[in-house]
Amino acid sequence: MYVQEVRLTREIAVLRTKANREKQLNRCVDLKLESQRLEARCLGMGETLRQQPGPSSL
């Protein structure tokens, strides 16, 4: 799971950079929405990890 979070975080950063450089408003909005979707997905992954019992609970 950690590797997926790192990959998603990197993708979010790339999308935000592209959005900041984008000249066309529609494309900028699309990039920002996609980064928000990925961020929500990444946050959801973190919640899933926190809900799972750790090795100390065995």
CA–CA separation, 46 and 39 (whole Å) = 11
pLDDT of residue 2: 78
Q: How many domains does the chain have?
A: 1
Q: Is residue 29 part of a domain?
A: yes
Q: Is residue 38 part of a domain?
A: yes
Q: Is residue 31 part of a domain?
A: yes
- The token duo for 36 is 């928000």
pLDDT of residue 47: 65
Q: Is residue 16 part of a domain?
A: yes
Tens of pLDDT along the chain (58 residues) come to 678 888 999 999 999 999 999 999 999 999 999 999 999 998 887 766 556 565 554 4
For residue 20, the enclosing domain spans: 2-50
CA–CA separation, 36 and 25 (whole Å) = 16
pTM over 0.75: no
